[in-house]
Structure 1
Amino acid sequence: MSRPKLYPQRVIDEFENIFLLAPNNLHSQRLNRYYKYLTKPLKSMPFYLIIPLSVSIAMLAYALLGRLIIHLVTLLQHGF
């Protein structure tokens, strides 16, 4: 006795199409090489780069703008 299908074949095909991505083409060999060089670490370990970068940007913004950044964040929190 065969098991009933949980998802129609149409849905399964659509899920497979979601993960099919064409390679990035920037129409320039130098730009393609530079793009691949920059994005390779982001694909393998994104949080090792994103978290320190975001913390350093936040600290720099606080050092440069001081209390203005606190008022801006408070305003944005109340607005959304």
Structure 2
Amino acid sequence: MSPKTSKTAKTSGRHGGRSAGRRRMEMTPARITMLVLAAVTLVFIFQNTQETKIRLLVPEVTMPLWAALLATALIGALCGAYFMGRRR
């Protein structure tokens, strides 16, 4: 083996570099933006606490506006996660 080959073989082994199964939780601009948007969404939801009437196809339901907004946000997040998962 040449010195170059043996050196790269040592560093590219199991313990060289990053572990294959681990991902680092780095704070990227996209993650920071998502955290800020989630915080603003929660503030918006919990600022709107009055009762409201909501029509779900046929029945009319009276419930706190924050619960309707939170349910809508959760449904949207689940749909987004589902479609992003299918994309990979």
- Between 1 and 2, higher relative CO (CA 8 Å, sep ≥ 6) is seen in 2
* TM-score above 0.5, yes or no: no
- The structure whose Rg is larger is 2
Question: Which structure has the highest helix share of the two?
Answer: 1
Q: With structure 2 as the length reference, what TM-score do the two structures score?
A: 0.25
